[in-house]
Every structure is written in C-alpha cells, then in structure tokens.
Amino acid sequence: MDIIAITRQGKVRGRVRDAVAAFLGIPYAAAPFGIHRFRAPAPAEPWEGVRDALEYGPTAPQRPYRPPLDELIPEVDIPGEECLNLNVWTPEAVGGALPVLVWIHGGSLRNGSTAMPLYDGRAFARDGVVLVSVNYRLGVEGFGVFPDAPDNRGLLDQIAALTWVRDNIAAFGGDPGCVTVCGESAGAISIAALMAAPRAAGLFHRAILQSGAPHKVPRSQGARTVRAMAKALHVPATAEAFAAVDRERLLDAQTEVVGKADPISGGPGFHIVADDGMMPADPPQPTVDLLLGCNREEYRLWSVPSGMVDRISRLTLRLALLKFRIPGRVARLYRAARPGAKPGVILGEMATDLLLRGPLNRLADSRPARTFLYEFAWRSPVWELGACHALEIGFVFDNLRHGETLSGPGAPQPLADTMHRAWVAFAATGDPGWPGWDARRPVMVFDHPGTGVVLAPRQEELQVWLSRSDQAGPEGGADGAT
C-alpha cells in the first residue's frame, strides 16, 4: 500500500509493508553538481504533484573498498546527481509524536551510503522510533580543503539534513524536539564535530557515538591530500580546477593517493578540519545526553583479513612504540594480560585503546551531561575477525541477516534484541538501561552469553592513554573504515 506525506518541498509517496512506511531517496538539498559542486549545500528545489519515494536515491561518488574489505563491506553504487538525499522509516499508524533517530554512516569520510541493506530502519520504526538515514558528500568533494571553497562540506550537508528533519519530520510522525543523532566510525566522528558546531546547535538533543571519537586537524594538515591529488592530476590545488576535472578521473586520483590508508597503519586521508566559523579549534562543552563506546577488538577488521597481524614482528612493534613515544613498559603490560599473543595482536590492542577507548573515556570524563558507555565484545567466527570494527551495526539495527558478511550466519538474536532495545530506549528517554558514567566507570559489555555492567574494565591498560598529554596516532587513523 502506498502512503503520502507532505514536506515543505512537496508531496512524497512512500510504501507500507508490515505496518512500516518507508520513504526513500528524498532530496534534502540541491544536487551538488554543476554550479553547486564544491559549494555549501543549497536548498532543494520544490516540485509539483507527488514525488515517488519508493527507491533509494543516488549515492555519493566513491570507489569500493579495496580487497578483501570489499567482500566484508559490500558497497552499493546508485548513479545520479541528487546524492544529497535521505530515507525515512516510520510506523504506519502513529499515535503521537515519536522519537527520531538520525543515522550518519561511516566510511573514512570517503565510502558508504544509506542504500546499504544493513542500514534498513524497519526494526526501529517497528519499535516506535522514526529512523532517518542520511547521504552526504564524501572524499575530496565533501572534505577536500581548498582556498576557494568552504571547509567541511560533507559536515555542512549533514547539518542541512538535520535542518530538514527539524522542518519536516512531524509530517512523518516524528517529534522535532526529540532527535537523536547516531553514527559509526566516521559517522561518529562527524557527530562529535556536530556537537561542537554552532550551526548545528538545537538540531538534535541526544547523540550516539559508535567506534568513533572526536577528531579534527588544522587546515594545513587537511590540505595535504588535496595537494597530493593536484600533483597526480597536474592541476592547481583549487576547487575551481578540481571542478573542471572529470569525476572518474578525480576518483582515480583519490584512490591513488588515499586508497591504501587505514586506521592502524595510517596514511593520507580526509578529515574534519578546524576553522574559525564552522568548526572552532576549542569547541564549547557539549551538553546533549551521550551514549558512546567501541568494540573490544576494533583493529581486527583491518589487520586480520589483510594478514597484517601476522606480518608485524617484534622489531616492527618496537619501532611503532618509538614512533608514537610509547614506553616499552606499556607493551609489557599488554603482553602480561595476553600470554603468547603475537606482536601484531599487541600492537592492535594498543591501537584500539589509543585511537578509540582512551579518547572515548576521556570524553566521558569531561562531560557535564548524562553519559553512558558500552563495549561490544561478541566475537565473530568469520575470518577470525573477533569483536572487530563495524560488527555491532547489525545488532544495533536488529538486522543480522544483512550483517552476515561480518558476523556469519547464526549470530545470536538475543544479543541483537538486547542491544537494539537499548538504542531504542536511549532515543526515547535518554536512558539506555544501565548506570550513567561516574567515578565507578560503569561500562555495559554486550556479549553472548553474559551481557552486563562491568566497572572500570582493563583500567590499568586504559590509564596509560588517559594519562598521556598527547594523543598521537597515524595520520588519518581516526577516520575509521566503515
């Protein structure tokens, strides 16, 4: 059965299945092509009549992940210009204004889309939460730093989408005064930036950061990737020159420059950059309620399928410790808790704590608002991935079938029930169902069997990173992969 909703731009036609209405591919801003390329997002043009919102809209220009990640995280490529679009899932019968959850996908700020089946929002709508998922510009078009274009264009796209939610979500049964933003990896990093961005103030009321910590760099560092691409393209490092380059050639150059980078080994990438207007270097303290956490073995997504975990020798480990000014006693501390572990495992565990667990705990320690921490610990048998980066997403969305590339068949449904229910509760009330952050450092550990609160898990190791005055890491390392 079809259903009509009325937005400020015009009427849209969605489709109802199993008591959930889905509206797909709704433009929230003008297509970032032609005169709008490399510019801040412009308002979407209104339309006459009823616009079909029955299929996913175009995805932002990108290239697939390199092997073997392309098997584990299969991409969806939908051509077309109107890539600044969003999707809405809502209950067919709405008995009042419902809480809203806005999903911002990850992908190192250069990959991903809302068309991935894993991000289907039906389970949230089934349980009384309006789910909105957002596409935004990626790679050099969204986050390249130029002297003649606004910075953080992909972040500006996200703000435009949240503005659309504020202005239109009531037409879909949502409450614009009860909006939670939720994202994973680069999506979580984006949300941390939105929490500090003056232009995003008041557009959301709660936030969920999955496997991504606050991370931004100076403009000078962010511009390095553009300069490297300009050299490969033999053009000036300006938005005007890049806009004149064929998009496929631009993606070729982007892949050449950043294609081999990952959060563990580092390399050039795309970043949210600090600027005086959009993203101040010293943001005000955020006051929204916050749910944040990461997976116990984040590093295994990159180091195990690639074989890197086996190639790292004791010498490589020692060199890494020197590069990041980590005392040798730290490696001994990690070895003592993991007898017989390979050097690659020790380095990966430290990298997870350096890039994610430490910064997330430090963020929790600094906040005046209610904060809740979690850790995802269930281990996937696929390729010995363990509790790797991105594995929790299928559980959060109660969508294990489309998460099988990472989890394999037969992932525990009771764990998905528990985790999904916590996200629904947080979006509705600001309380996921376990004690808030305080001096006891409570962490909800999601596992099967055995989900429960643990006080200050692995605190001796964590304290190493909490006590560091610097947070050096690989260039691009905090951008995440999914």
pLDDT at 268: 86
Largest CA distance in the chain: 68
Backbone angles phi, psi at 4, to 5 degrees: -110, 135
| Cis, peptide link before residue 409, omega less than 30° from 0 | no
Cα dihedral 391, 356, 158, 72, rounded to 10, equals: -30
Q: Looking at the DSSP assignment, which residues form a beta bridge with residue 197?
A: none
Which two tokens mark 477?
């390392």
In sequence order, the 6+-apart residues with CB closer than 8 A to the CB of 375 are 293, 294, 295, 296, 443, 444, 445, 446, 454, 457
Give me the helices (H) in 234-295, please: 239-243, 247-258
pLDDT by residue for the chain (482 residues), tens only, comes to 999 999 999 999 999 999 999 999 999 999 999 999 999 999 999 999 999 999 999 999 999 999 999 999 999 999 999 999 999 999 998 777 999 999 999 999 999 999 999 999 999 999 999 999 999 999 999 999 999 999 999 999 999 999 999 999 999 999 999 999 999 999 999 999 999 999 999 999 999 999 999 999 999 999 999 999 999 999 999 999 999 999 999 999 999 999 877 766 667 899 999 976 676 655 555 689 999 999 999 999 999 999 999 999 999 999 989 988 889 899 999 999 999 999 999 999 999 999 999 999 999 999 888 999 999 999 999 999 999 999 999 999 999 999 999 999 999 999 999 999 999 999 999 999 999 999 999 999 999 999 999 999 999 999 999 987 555 443 344 344 45
pLDDT at 475: 39
Model confidence pLDDT, tens digit, residues 347-388: 999 999 999 999 999 999 998 889 999 999 999 999 999 999
pLDDT at 367: 87
Nearest to 294 by CA among 480, 102, 72: 480
How far apart CA 294 and CA 229 sit, in angstroms, is: 32
The pairing of beta strand 174-184 with beta strand 206-210: parallel
What structural domains and CATH numbers belong to the chain?
A: 2-258 (3.40.50.1820), 295-479 (3.40.50.1820)
How far apart CA 29 and CA 84 sit, in angstroms, is: 6
Confidence (pTM): 0.95
Tell me which DSSP letter residue 373 carries.
E
Which two tokens mark 108?
């190192």
In sequence order, the 6+-apart residues with CB closer than 8 A to the CB of 94 are 173
Which two tokens mark 340?
């017989």
How far apart CA 399 and CA 225 sit, in angstroms, is: 36
How far apart CA 63 and CA 299 sit, in angstroms, is: 22
How far apart CA 109 and CA 189 sit, in angstroms, is: 9
Answer left, alpha or beta for residue 327, where phi above 0 means left and psi between -120 and 50 means alpha.
beta
Model confidence pLDDT, tens digit, residues 251-291: 999 999 998 777 666 678 999 999 766 766 555 556 899 99
Asked whether 414 and 396 are in contact (CB, 8 A), the reply is no
How far apart CA 267 and CA 482 sit, in angstroms, is: 16
Residues of 149-159 as b/e, b for ≥16 C-beta within 10 angstroms?
bbbbbbbbbbb
Asked whether 22 and 89 are in contact (CB, 8 A), the reply is yes
pLDDT at 482: 55
Rounded to 5°, the CA angle 481-30-173 comes to: 80
Please give the C-alpha separations between residue 183 and each of 133, 294, 415, 446, in angstroms, as whole numbers: 10, 12, 20, 18
Nearest to 103 by CA among 118, 92, 91: 118
Crossing angle for the helix pair 328-337 and 314-323, nearest 10 degrees? 130
Q: Catalytic amino acids?
A: 185, 298, 389
Strands (E) across 141-269 are located at 174-184, 206-210
Asked whether 291 and 207 are in contact (CB, 8 A), the reply is yes
Asked whether 142 and 60 are in contact (CB, 8 A), the reply is yes
Which two tokens mark 145?
């730093």
CA within 13 Å, CB half, 56: 19
Cα dihedral 350, 351, 356, 361, rounded to 10, equals: 20
Answer left, alpha or beta for residue 330, where phi above 0 means left and psi between -120 and 50 means alpha.
alpha
pLDDT at 261: 72
The pairing of beta strand 130-134 with beta strand 206-210: unpaired
